[in-house]
Amino acid sequence: MNLKVLYVCSEVFPLLKTGGLADVSAGLPPALQALGADVRLLLPAFPSVVAGVTPEGSTLLVPPGGSPGLPEGVGPQATSAHGPTPWLRAGRITDSGMPVWLLHAPGLYERDGNPYLDEQGRPWPDSAEQFAWLGWAAALLGTGLDAGWQPDVVHGHDWHSGLAFAYLRELARTAEHRPASVFTIHNLAYQGVFNAGLRPRLGLPDTLFHLQGLEFHGQINFMKAGLKYSDAITTVSPTYAREITGTEQGCGLDGVLRQRQAHLHGILNGVDDAVWNPLTDPLVQPGFDADHLQGKAQAKTRLQTHMGLQPRPDALLFSVVSRLTEQKGLHLLPAVVDELVQRGGQLAVLGSGDAAIEQALRDCAQRHPGQVALTVGYDEVLAHSVIAGADVILLPSRFEPCGLTQLYGLRYGTLPLVRAVGGLADTVVDCSLEHLDDGSASGFVFQDLDVPSLLAALKRAFALQRRPADWRAVQRHAMALRFGWARAAGEYLQVYRSVLPT
Ligand code: ADP
Ligand code: GLC
């Protein structure tokens, strides 16, 4: 019998994406299917998601908390006294054929743009309800709402799915069907913390609201619910799995994670070969591979021209494709730009986010016209162009649960320059002499989150450029590395099996 997995998440590439979470929701489920699992996604019915799904088959009502047959005080209250009951619509993602449940709830998801933030960058005022309903729908499906498809495993991602595990615990007391549950942390820094006064509305009884439950400094913490009430926890790299059990990276939840250490697994993310393959990438033509780099040279010239950089083939072209946030350590970048340019380098940045980081980078671009370029915004096509055309991709992250762009960089022969944290430490090997010697070098790695360390790594990149044969050898090794989803999917299946009843 195929293992049935309900995969609960808030975004999926290419329908809705704010970051790597969406890439994972697109890459991991098909890899699980390829290993024989029967996977269905559960997502809120945001407009761009609805537009990319072909409805198929049934609709199921999602009874609010307190409905007949459900335990008292558990589950969110109806959103509007007069609105219809939320419902689940079955379908398939039109392009990939992946089965999906879409959760429709009157007034909660019918809005365009970022699923978490309004146009001013503030959290939506009803964020708690949006994702409480997602968790509730997951818990109901997990305990048999759809008699025809009862999941063996509920696998939720990030805080948006956290309440699923609390509701499941309550529903499982009386339900006939109790699934195993797995919660994956993609970023511990975003926890979904809300006012305790919302408890009655969200249907979170007192039995859940205490230090050993989902209470966090007097507030409701969705992430903590996932950590406390799931059978197993995973996160997206082995190093991050260790880091988050310490105070520095634990974001206040390290104690909880230490308690659950025996059930905490680090599983490195993969790369979706259908999207990020330099030979077949439709956004980067002509394609290239390690033996035929002409296409990469052309991509560099195109990128330089497109971003207003001087089209110098010999300029060492550094790049950033990122959310511009504290997490990514990009506040360090402006301080090294003058030296980078002085040494003959160029910098191409694509990103958006923090206004202060944006402004500092804009100032750099103004100071160095033709050598430093910034494009503010989110642009999938340009992201591929940058990763294909640059020589180096920068991730000086303060913390990085996994990081995907360094993996994309490796695949495209764009050497990652990274800080040794989280998934970056697990995937990039510095060009030190010993690593050059044994053939394991794949990029540039620095330790401390400060300007001198970043600068030293930049200098190593320039030094390697002056040794073209070594550069080629490192690039060839980087391009041959494979971080496939098949391996990750195999590890997830092992975790599922470890928590299934025997
Ligand atoms: P995070 O999820 O923390 O933002 P990841 O490295 O895991 O970091 O994933 C980021 C994803 O978002 C990658 O697919 C990257 O290409 C994409 N991305 C980031 N910023 C932009 C941007 N400004 N335009 C297009 N894609 C972007
Ligand atoms: C988060 C992390 C990032 C990770 C991604 C996918 O957004 O910040 O490091 O790669 O999730 O797991």
Q: Are strands 415-419 and 193-194 parallel, antiparallel or unpaired?
A: unpaired
Q: Does domain 294-482 have CATH number 3.40.50.2300?
A: no
- The strand order across the sheet containing 392-395 reads 372-376, 346-353, 317-324, 392-395, 415-419, 444-446
Q: Would you list the DSSP string of 257-286? A: HHHTGGGEEE----B-TTTS-TTT-TTSSS
**Distance (Å) from CA 171 to ligand 2 centroid:** 31
Question: CA 122 to CA 30: how far, in whole Å?
Answer: 34
Q: Output the pLDDT for position 143.
A: 97
**Distance (Å) from CA 434 to ligand 2 centroid:** 30
The structural domains of the chain, with segments of one domain joined by +, span: 4-270+486-499, 294-482
Q: Which atom of ligand 1 is nearest to the CA of 24?
A: 7
**What single-letter amino acid sits at 3?**
L
Instruction: Tell me: cis bond preceding 86? Omega within 30 of 0 counts.
Output: no
Contacts of residue 299, defined as CB under 8 A and 6 or more positions apart, other chains included, come to 284, 288, 385, 388, 389
* Residue to mutate, 404, 408, 411, 418, ligand 1, most ligand atoms under 8 Å from C-beta: 404
**Distance (Å) from CA 366 to ligand 1 centroid:** 25
Q: Which atom of ligand 2 is nearest to the CA of 269?
A: 12
Give me 354's structure tokens. Answer: 């923090």
Cβ < 6 A, ligand 1 pocket: 19-21, 23, 321-323, 350-352, 378-380, 383, 402-405
**Distance (Å) from CA 421 to ligand 2 centroid:** 13
Q: Decide if 4-270+486-499 and 294-482 have a common fold.
A: yes
Q: Output the pLDDT for position 1.
A: 66
Contacts of residue 457, defined as CB under 8 A and 6 or more positions apart, other chains included, come to 417, 444, 445, 446
Q: In the 8-state DSSP scheme, what is residue 287?
A: -
Nearest to 213 by CA among 172, 174, 244, 167: 167
Query: For the chain, percent helix, then strand, then coil, each to nearest 5?
Result: 40, 20, 40
- Domain formed by 4-270+486-499, architecture: 3-Layer(aba) Sandwich (3.40)
Beta-strand ranges (E) seen in 146-214 are 153-157, 180-185, 193-194
Q: Which atom of ligand 1 is nearest to the CA of 18?
A: 12
**Distance (Å) from CA 208 to ligand 1 centroid:** 35
Q: Would you list the DSSP string of 89-147? A: EEEEETTT--EEEEEE-TTTS---S-SSB-TTSPBPTTHHHHHHHHHHHHHHHHTTSST
* Residue to mutate, 321, 352, 394, 419, ligand 1, most ligand atoms under 8 Å from C-beta: 321
**Distance (Å) from CA 405 to ligand 2 centroid:** 10
Q: Would you list the DSSP string of 293-326? A: -HHHHHHHHHHHHHHT----TTS-EEEEEEEESG
* Residue to mutate, 269, 271, 426, 491, ligand 2, most ligand atoms under 8 Å from C-beta: 269
Give me 233's structure tokens. Answer: 């926890």
- Using CA atoms, how far residue 204 sits from 127, 140, 200, 213, in Å, is 16, 15, 6, 11
Nearest to 67 by CA among 78, 81, 80: 78
**Distance (Å) from CA 199 to ligand 1 centroid:** 34
CB atoms within 10 A of CB 366: 10
**Distance (Å) from CA 400 to ligand 2 centroid:** 7
Low pLDDT (below 70) residues in the chain: 1, 79-83
Q: Which atom of ligand 1 is nearest to the CA of 402?
A: 7
Give me 337's structure tokens. Answer: 């730009």
- Using CA atoms, how far residue 375 sits from 27, 306, 324, 347, in Å, is 27, 10, 12, 11
Under a CB-based contact definition with an 8 Å cutoff, are residues 216 and 224 in contact?
yes
CA-nearest residue for atom 5, ligand 2, is 20
Long-range contacts at 333-338 (CB < 8 A, ≥ 24 apart) = 333/360, 333/361, 333/364, 333/394, 333/396, 333/454, 334/360, 334/361, 334/363, 334/364, 335/451, 336/451, 336/454, 336/455, 336/458, 337/364, 337/367, 337/368, 337/372, 338/367, 338/368
Task: Please name which ligand lies nearest the alpha carbon of 187.
Answer: 2
* Residue to mutate, 117, 320, 322, ligand 1, most ligand atoms under 8 Å from C-beta: 322
Q: With residue 54 as reference, give the H or E element that holds it.
A: strand 53-61
Question: CA 75 to CA 469: how far, in whole Å?
Answer: 62
Instruction: Give the HSE-up count for residue 86: Cα atoms under 13 Å, Cβ half-sphere.
Output: 35
**Distance (Å) from CA 181 to ligand 2 centroid:** 21
Q: Output the pLDDT for position 122.
A: 87
Question: CA 224 to CA 355: how far, in whole Å?
Answer: 30
Task: Please name which ligand lies nearest the alpha carbon of 13.
Answer: 1
Sign of the torsion formed by the C-alpha atoms of 364, 368, 373 and 376: positive
CA-nearest residue for atom 10, ligand 2, is 403
CA-nearest residue for atom 17, ligand 1, is 19
**What single-letter amino acid sits at 408?**
Y
CA-nearest residue for atom 12, ligand 1, is 19
- Using CA atoms, how far residue 97 sits from 29, 152, 216, 474, in Å, is 11, 21, 40, 38
Owner of token pair 């005022």: 125
Cβ < 6 A, ligand 2 pocket: 19-21, 24, 186-187, 236, 269, 400-404, 423
**Distance (Å) from CA 213 to ligand 1 centroid:** 33
* Predicted TM-score of the model (pTM): 0.97
Q: Which atom of ligand 1 is nearest to the CA of 322?
A: 20
Instruction: Tell me: cis bond preceding 14? Omega within 30 of 0 counts.
Output: yes
Question: CA 383 to CA 404: how far, in whole Å?
Answer: 12
CA-nearest residue for atom 1, ligand 2, is 186
**Distance (Å) from CA 10 to ligand 1 centroid:** 16
Nearest to 1 by CA among 38, 31, 40: 38
